Structure 1
Amino acid sequence: MKKTLTRGLMNLLPMVLSIWLFWSLFISLDGLGRLLLESLGVKPIFIGAGFTLVAVIIFIAGLLFSVSPIVWLYSWVERQLMKFPLFKSVYGSIRDIAALMNNDNKPKNQQTVLIKQANGSYIVGFIMGDNTPAPLTDALPDGDWVPVLFQLSYQMAGVTSLVKREDLIEVQWSFEEAMRFNLTAGISSSKDIAHN
């Protein structure tokens, strides 16, 4: 009985939480869009009209950010606001998280690697880029140093280490699958999702 309940919970919980999360996001954006429509004196004509408006605004913003004067103006405003320490901290963190979700900004050379530990075990890491900042390379001994991210299980945080390229073992494993493996401490994998 307990095993059956656990199996049902483990299979239903991810689906229910995912649907709830996306539904909550839809409701929030739809509410924001309805508020914009009502402030303009327009009555929403169908369910989801607010969400559609927000999606259109985001799309138009994406088009505008491909125009140089708009990008320059936005960068100028951003630089001015960054002069305020509290805003800089909050905005910088949100911008970095948004950049992580943007596939266009991800390095094309992201590579899953293994690094041997002192006790003979191996840890999974990700080469996040080929360029190490000059102040760090100046402080390090000679060698080809690369930034490697070690993701912590069950959280989005990780530890970035500088490792010599010769000490890395490259693994033919996609970034997404390896990240899922790290985030769940090896409990979940793409095979599990495919079979379920």
Structure 2
Amino acid sequence: MKKTLLRGLLNVLPLVLSIWLFWSLFESLDKVGNFLFGLFHIGKLFKGAGFLLILTLLFVAGLLFSVSPIAWLYDFIIRQLMRFPFFKTVYSSINDIASLISSDNKNKGQQTVLVRQANDSYVIGFIMSDDMPAPLTAALPDGDWVPVLFPLSYQIAGVTTLVKREDLTVVDWSFEEAMKYNLTAGISTPKNNNDKTQKETDDTADKPV
């Protein structure tokens, strides 16, 4: 009975928490939108009207930022505000997190690799970018160095290590699946995925060359 209850909890809890999180976000944005309606003396229209207003404003903002003068003005204001140390610290932190979760800024060439350790064990890492900053290139010995990320908590925390490309073992594995495996030590990897991979391997081996 305990195992059945635990199984039910582990399956239902992620769904409930996800729905609660998105509902809380919806409610918060809806309240902000209704507040903006109130500034123009517009009463509450219907549930979700404020949320739709916020989405519309964000869409318009996205269009405006595609116009060079608006983007230049925004960058100018940000540069002026960055002169204040406290604002610079807060803004930089939030902006870095936003850049991590933004699909537009994701490097489509993220590569899963294995890095050999001194005791002949391997650590899973990810090449996030092939570009090395000039100061690092000048300071490092000669060689093809690349930054390898060893994530600790869903890309929010991690250790960046500079490794020679020749010391890396490239793995033909998608970034998302490798990240999930790396962060959960394989616990969240469905068994049927392994069975499917094994089946595909067996089918390939049975095919005539």
Q: The TM-score by the shorter chain falls in which range?
A: over 0.9
Counterpart in 1 of 2:82?
82
Alpha-carbon distance in structure 1 between the residues aligned to 2:137 and 2:91: 28
- C-alpha distance in structure 1 between counterparts of 2:154 and 2:82, whole Å: 31
Q: What does 1:103-142 correspond to in 2, within 5 Å? A: 103-142=103-142
Which residue is 1:181 aligned to? 181
Aligned counterparts of 2:29 and 2:102: Cα–Cα separation in 1:
20
Q: What's the % identity of the aligned pairs? A: 67
Deviant stretches of 4+, over 3 Å: 190-193
Which residues in structure 2 correspond to 1:153-172 (within 5 Å)?
Answer: 153=153, 156-172=156-172
Taking the aligned partners of 1:158 and 1:15, their CA distance within structure 2 comes to 27
TM-score, normalised by the number of residues in structure 1 = 0.94
**What's the Cα RMSD here?**
1.6
- Closer, same or farther in 2 for the Cα pair 1:2/1:30, shift >3 Å? same
5+ residue gaps, structure 1? none
Correspondence for 1:20: 20
Structure 2 portions without partners, runs of 5+: 194-209
Q: Distance in 2 between matches of 1:81 and 1:190?
A: 48
Task: Please state if 1:91 is matched with 2:98.
Answer: no
- Equivalent position of 2:38 in the other structure: 38
Question: For the Cα contact (< 8 Å) 2:100–2:155, is it kept in 1?
Answer: no
Aligned partners of 1:190 and 1:125: how far apart in 2?
Answer: 21
The answer to whether the 8 A contact 1:114-1:170 is kept is yes
Structure 2 Cα separation of the partners of residues 15 and 139 of structure 1: 48
Return the TM-score normalized by structure 2: 0.88
What's the CA shift for 1:154?
A: 6.8
Structure index of larger Rg: 2
Which residue is equivalent to 1:52?
Answer: 52
2-side partners of 1:134 and 1:55: how far apart? 40
